[in-house]
Chain A
């Protein structure tokens, strides 16, 4: 297969970037999208130029490192699929493929297709945990949790922290990312103790990082490679408002 690639090149955060066009021949349909980029990079290097920088590690859809904006969609055209799991057989021979980094104020570009997602980390520092010290845990089965709830908590916990939800959102909102964690913990007994404080702090941090608000277009769910449901945003909002009510009552 042959492709024309239009790739965002940017030397660093200070310099302005631009698209560069690369024709690429003899791509195998069995190649993954990132293997296709490896193949391109090999040719770029052999011609004496600097390769396209992009993030990746596990190459099996679970570490959340890779995240490219492909033909106007985070992680490309396939639903429930990360960039590294996407294969070239999903594209048409001769197609032009446009590849960009995530675009969001809270994710500044570092180089080429690499962005800084440390804002996501800080949201977790603010409250993405259950305060249980090592060695303090009771026997696991002393606290039964219905399978239904446990499975739901798992669905929320499946987030890989890639940032596609933010990239997909017209407002660059991080609601789905924060909601997934907040909901996971709010649903289970271990997490309920700190639920109100958690939602408060995490939402505050999300705002401080410059992520936008949610206008319910559901683009995040549509483009989430793990199919995380927007229902968790509703659950987060409920938690958030009830935490406000509690505070007012206390005051």
Chain B
């Protein structure tokens, strides 16, 4: 099992990172100039790490598929970013943040990684403040915080409902500074389609220039993937439409292990589906549950206007079931509770697939202005999409695919099982176990990018100071480029009748129905069968108009959908082998009498990491045992 050496350092939890860091090798400033690093992705993780690496003096090449790095989907994060500053004097600490995350992740994350993420969280906030990120402040001029789900302290920093945008623009500004200095070169409008491996090490990538269709070779001494999540496997999700699994998937197919692919978070508060042509679900931030109360009518199928349903006929089911955390239970719990009510016939709206999120009480107590100050842009967004004013009528919400805890397996250095290939941010699996707590992704992305990877990568690159430029005419580049070109030809040559979006929609429905919020063995097997059939149909009937030598959005989509079939299969495979319920992974077969998730620590306290063995072969499962030295494994209760 040499493949899965997590490289977690020994020693007391609070000293692991500082001691480990002190032992890492360095690359001196003159040598850094001789080293090239590729970063794919310009979200908080990618743009952050690219600027930090540029500041250190490396030559960095950065890629994204949008026309500007500022449009990475981190921009859409709304609610906030956590840090253990303890500004509210509510007894918060690095240890408590760590503990909340390990528990919130249902004990399926590595203690050491989580602790480190919590440890660097304060540096992230300080760095953003220095970069001029306009976080919310109180009247004394200090930074303000609010609460998020699954915790009992107030540690979430925010910039109205646009925290992701403001943090990303801060990061984008540091990236721009390096671009101006010439340490970073930006390549927008590129799709990464393959990783190039030379002598067992990641040495470059193949990209498609989205404007010209040209395939390009880029070489470097190390490659960092920061390509975000693959929640778009459900078609309808809170992600941007371009979000994909393809970059990480190409690494998987080149030998990088893929961990916990089925751990995918369904967010409880998204605007429900309103029409059949919808391709995107808009999130209403979790922060709204600070002041909004979730309810359904006590009477089944009650079709009255919400305003006509008196207080005593409302079921505030989260407050009823989970009195200790109430509306602020973690996402997996809140999502399942909403589904349970709707499936039982208490849902509201035309389809019965939604519940109310009501601000009436908060507005009465705090006044409309206070609520507007906190959530103004979210309320506006809601009204634009639905045509309903949430100041006077409760919002309707329903769960939606949102965040992938699973991703490329990485060790403590954030390196995948391919030497020189790193994965950071949402694209790796590392810190959130089976469920992510709100506002901890931005924190992890920034920690990974700004403060962790720039240290660990130096240790690896110290061996490369005499390597010289990696030649892009190496046979490995030729072969990778040819594989990509052949695949593009093959997909174009199908010449069928159905669009990529139409296939994607059908694929998403299979995944949602069979590998979504609740799973069982039979359903998963059925899902796999359906996926296989649909994939065959795809390769017979996909239609791509236009040429591959041109800006061709249909081709871009089809390539991503083709990968999603394979991703979906692996998700089902992973969900099937995990005979327990934990976090977002809920198996019908494994629940308590009261319908809560039942974990099986004796048999499943491991990270499941999959190895690709070829197109027809079943992938191989490796298990990284999780050791809990500092936290006691307990039933996760929010009652």
| Residues in chain A within 8 A of chain B (CB atoms) | 12, 28, 30-32, 35-36, 38-39, 41-42, 45-46, 48-51, 53, 55-65, 78, 80-81, 85-87, 89, 110-111, 114, 116-118, 120-121, 124-141, 143-147, 150-151, 153-154, 157-158, 160-161, 184-185, 188, 190-191
Who on chain B is nearest to A160 by CB? B165
Distance between B123 CB and nearest chain A CB, rounded to angstroms: 7
Which 10 A-B pairs have CB atoms at the shortest separation, nearest pair first?
A144-B141, A137-B130, A129-B173, A137-B126, A154-B134, A132-B130, A30-B275, A57-B240, A140-B129, A59-B280
Pairwise interchain contact A59-B240, C-beta atoms closer than 8 A:
yes
Distance between A205 CB and nearest chain B CB, rounded to angstroms: 10
Pairwise interchain contact A130-B132, C-beta atoms closer than 8 A:
yes
Pairwise interchain contact B130-A45, C-beta atoms closer than 8 A:
no
Pairwise interchain contact B67-A117, C-beta atoms closer than 8 A:
yes
B385 CB-CB contact with A under 8 Å: yes
Q: List 8 A-B contacts (CB under 8 A).
A: A35-B275, A45-B545, A57-B73, A58-B240, A59-B240, A60-B283, A65-B66, A140-B125
B324 CB-CB contact with A under 8 Å: no
Name the residue among A125, A140, A160 with the largest chain B CB count within 10 angstroms: A140
A28 contact set on B, CB distance < 8 A: 275-277
Pairwise interchain contact A146-B277, C-beta atoms closer than 8 A:
no
Distance between A161 CB and nearest chain B CB, rounded to angstroms: 6
B137 CB-CB contact with A under 8 Å: yes
Interface string of B157-182 (1 = CB under 8 A from A): 00110101110010011101101100
Once bound together, how far apart are the Cα atoms of A121 and B73, in whole Å?
Answer: 18
Pairwise interchain contact B130-A190, C-beta atoms closer than 8 A:
yes
Pairwise interchain contact A85-B385, C-beta atoms closer than 8 A:
yes
Complex interface: stretch among B194-202, B214-222, B308-316, B496-504: B496-504
Cross-interface CB contact of A143 among B129, B186, B242, cutoff 8 Å:
B129
Cross-interface CB contact of B68 among A42, A121, A131, cutoff 8 Å:
A121
A128 contact set on B, CB distance < 8 A: 173, 176
B125 contact set on A, CB distance < 8 A: 140
Q: How large is the interface on B (under 10, 10 to 19, 20 to 34, 35 or more residues)?
A: 35 or more
Who on chain B is nearest to A144 by CB? B141
Distance between B333 CB and nearest chain A CB, rounded to angstroms: 25
Pairwise interchain contact B71-A63, C-beta atoms closer than 8 A:
yes
Interface string of B443-483 (1 = CB under 8 A from A): 00000001100100000000000000000000000000000
Cross-interface CB contact of A130 among B131, B162, B165, B179, cutoff 8 Å:
B131
Once bound together, how far apart are the Cα atoms of A126 and B181, in whole Å?
Answer: 10
Given contacts A31-B275, A63-B76, contact A136 B130 (CB under 8 A): yes
B12 CB-CB contact with A under 8 Å: no
Distance between B367 CB and nearest chain A CB, rounded to angstroms: 17
Cross-interface CB contact of B159 among A30, A141, A154, cutoff 8 Å:
A154
Interface string of B102-139 (1 = CB under 8 A from A): 00000000000000000000010111011111111111
| B 616-635 contacts with A by CB, 8 A | none
A12 contact set on B, CB distance < 8 A: 550
Pairwise interchain contact B543-A45, C-beta atoms closer than 8 A:
yes
Who on chain A is nearest to B551 by CB? A111
A150 contact set on B, CB distance < 8 A: 134-137, 141
A124 contact set on B, CB distance < 8 A: 172-173, 176
A141 contact set on B, CB distance < 8 A: 87, 142-143
Pairwise interchain contact A144-B140, C-beta atoms closer than 8 A:
yes
Who on chain B is nearest to A44 by CB? B545
B241 contact set on A, CB distance < 8 A: 56-59
B85 CB-CB contact with A under 8 Å: yes
B546 CB-CB contact with A under 8 Å: yes
Pairwise interchain contact B551-A114, C-beta atoms closer than 8 A:
yes
B131 contact set on A, CB distance < 8 A: 129-130, 132, 190
* A-B contacts besides A35-B278, A134-B174, A138-B126, 5 pairs, CB < 8 Å: A51-B545, A124-B172, A128-B173, A137-B129, A154-B136
